[in-house]
Amino acid sequence: MRKLSLILGLLAPFAPFAASSVVAKPQPPKAGAPAPACGVKVLPFVAGTTWTFQNVASPTLPDEKLQKVSPQPAKQVVIAVTAIDTKGADTVVSLEETVTVEVTIPGVNGKEPTRKTNDRKVLSSVTCNAKKFEISPNSFLFGGDPGGFLNMEFDKVERPKGGWTLTNGTIGEGEFREDVTAHWTRKATPNTGATDGSGTLELERKFVPQAPEQIITKAGNWKAEKLGFVTTGRITLDKAHPENKPMEMPAGWTTQLWLVDGVGLVQVINGYSHMYQLVEISPK
């Protein structure tokens, strides 16, 4: 979801898919193991579980115009379930996401450039019940885009239509849609000359289940459910001139998720064509 930060900035003054003839089947929960939140198998949230993803070479490239403004992919993303709480009829899963980005520091006085890593922590959540499954927009799980929003807060998030439609806790065969409307505020970085801003983000996300595919990563080898979705949307500034039209999101913003019951997300290609694969899950 850094695409929102990117667009607001513009407004301001595969490893190839690997296949194997041997497919590891998801293992049934061990005796006495806690059930996942809301009985959701395809993203099984249990307190203490941690998933580690790494960026790998993608088999696809984004549109040429999009390549010019694409953010640097994260090197690694670690998602930890820190708590699961009941709030009225809902179950709220609290997540801590640690995003590691590798940056290059130019050399000085003829010295070679050096590389270092920076970590950024993002607190996100998933809210669910028997009829609802909602991932907060700042989560890596929302669209495969790590890092949340820089200097930006959502003070109101609504889903006026649709949402994830699951069948017995897993992906069914029918298409479904999720509309998200969020009001955001942005604080300018001090001493940059930039101004504070606010506005409304509207997203429409059409999900299409696809044929399962065989996926192999460092964490395992699975027959994974494939779920693709196309995102359309627009941003409207609160203080925009009356004649200014909302800014439309880039066309063809497509994301692909590969999910395994009892394991979770094992592979994703986001709208920037950045690809991430699961490399470790703990506890196994």
pLDDT tens-digit series, residues 98-156: 999 988 777 777 777 778 889 999 999 999 999 999 999 999 999 999 987 766 788 88
For the ranges 27-31, 35-39, 89-93, 213-217, which has the lowest average pLDDT?
27-31
| Tally of structural domains, the chain | 1
By CB atoms closer than 10 A (0-12, 13-18, 19+), residue 190 is exposed
- pTM of this structure: 0.84
Residue 68 lies in a domain: yes
Residue 38 lies in a domain: no
Residue 36 lies in a domain: no
- Measured distance CA(144)–CA(267) in Å, rounded: 9
Domain that holds residue 48: 2-26+44-282
- Cα separations (Å) of 29 from 18, 34, 65, 93, 168? 27, 8, 46, 19, 16
Tokens of 18: 């690997």
Highest mean pLDDT among 114-118, 197-201, 222-226: 222-226
Residue 32 lies in a domain: no
Residue 34 lies in a domain: no
At residue 48 the predicted structure's pLDDT band, cuts being 50, 70 and 90, is: very high
pLDDT at 249: 84
- Cβ neighbours of 48 (radius 10 Å): 12
Residue 33 lies in a domain: no
